[in-house]
Amino acid sequence: MRVFTIAALLLASAPGLPALAADGEDVYSSVCRKCHRTGIDDAPKAGDKAAWAPRVALGREALVKSVIDGKGAMDPRGGKPELTDEEIRAAVDYLLGLVK
């Protein structure tokens, strides 16, 4: 019984731990997709090469910074302040991977 309690405590504290390898697709699906799948508010659509070309030209780090700081109709960190820089970087890499 005690083992279960300890396991439950460990699980409960897990969200507070720094994310290990962030999964860009997961972050995209849970936070970014609602705007970037359909292009709400002129968000560049995921996988749309023409829409992404001028953004790609800004470079990965500038894009990561845009997401962290927010840009236009996109709130800082895609509207999810809990996201770590690493998770944002992973999601940007995922989006860039779709338009390679």
The CB-of-18 to ligand HEC minimum distance in angstroms stands at 17
Cα–Cα distance between 64 and 62 in angstroms, integer?
Answer: 5
Cα–Cα distance between 89 and 12 in angstroms, integer?
Answer: 26
Give the residues lining the site for ligand HEC (CB under 6 A). Answer: 27, 31-32, 34-36, 40-44, 55, 58, 62-63, 66-67, 71-74, 78-79, 83, 88, 91-92, 95
The CB-of-15 to ligand HEC minimum distance in angstroms stands at 17
Q: Which residue is nearest to ligand HEC (CB)?
A: 72
CA dihedral sign of residues 48, 97, 73, 71: negative
